[in-house]
Amino acid sequence: MGLRERKKAETRSALSWAAIRLTVERGFDNVRVQDIADAAGVSPRTFNNYFSGKGEAIASRHLNRLQRAADGLLARPEGEPLWESITHVALSQFEPGPELVAHPVADRGAWAAGLRTMLAEPALQGELLRAGVRAEAEFAAAVARRTGTDLEKDLYPHLVAAAVTAANNVAQAHFLRSGGTVSMEALLTEALGRIAAGLPAP
């Protein structure tokens, strides 16, 4: 990635994180594009160059995280078991980026409550659904390449991608129900491990 592309990616990421942070703190209806742009250190016009609205900006971080997981899957060692690779790349999404380092989460309970309210926002759910469908398709393509299966003819890569999406969604929902008292890393590790084991009865 060249310098220009990297700077654009950094600006996009900063805007998305600012949109999430402010929405968690204030509520979706109480955040303006101007607020997001100010928090990211850019103009509202720059925001509009990247996103059509607050919902797309928030969903962008979710999409980028899952796209990185697809890229990461292809970069794992060839001989590594598939579900071991998947778990590694899934957990790598929780490594703190520069925005989170600059604005650490001080109160996990308050953060989880704000996230729960944000994710229940009807104006945002459509954007998140679109982002999730796109990311799942890209992950299925990565699984197909990794396993030598055919994306058009074989069920397997789509089934794996759907299972990983479900594991993410269930782990996130449980994290929010717990009020942030259990880490997402632990929940996702458990969810993926149970799927890899064939979901035996507890």
Query: What is the pTM (predicted TM-score) of this model?
Result: 0.83
Match 């402010």 to its residue by tokens.
22
Residue type for 4, please? R
The whole-number pLDDT of residue 41 equals 93
The whole-number pLDDT of residue 187 equals 94
Residue type for 140, please? A
CA-based nearest residue to 61, from 143, 128, 110: 128
- For residue range 92-143, what is the model confidence (pLDDT) as tens digits? 887 766 666 555 666 777 888 888 889 889 888 889 899 889 999 999 999 9
Q: What are phi and psi of 7, to 5 degrees?
A: -65, -40
Burial of 40 (0-12, 13-18, 19+ CB in 10 A): buried
Q: What is the dihedral of CA 79, 80, 85, 88, to 10 degrees?
A: -130
Contact 192, 87 (CB under 8 A): yes
- For residue range 32-44, what is the model confidence (pLDDT) as tens digits? 999 999 999 999 9
Q: How far is CA 121 from CA 19, 110, 177, 179, in A?
A: 14, 17, 17, 18
Average pLDDT over residues 63-89: 91
Angle between helices 3-26 and 33-40 (to 10 degrees): 130
The whole-number pLDDT of residue 112 equals 83
Contact 90, 164 (CB under 8 A): yes
Residue 75: pLDDT over 70 = yes
Q: How far is CA 199 from CA 18, 174, 192, 195, in A?
A: 38, 17, 9, 5
**Strand, helix or coil at 145?**
helix
Query: DSSP character for 179?
Result: T
Enumerate domains of the chain plus CATH numbers: 55-196 (1.10.357.10)
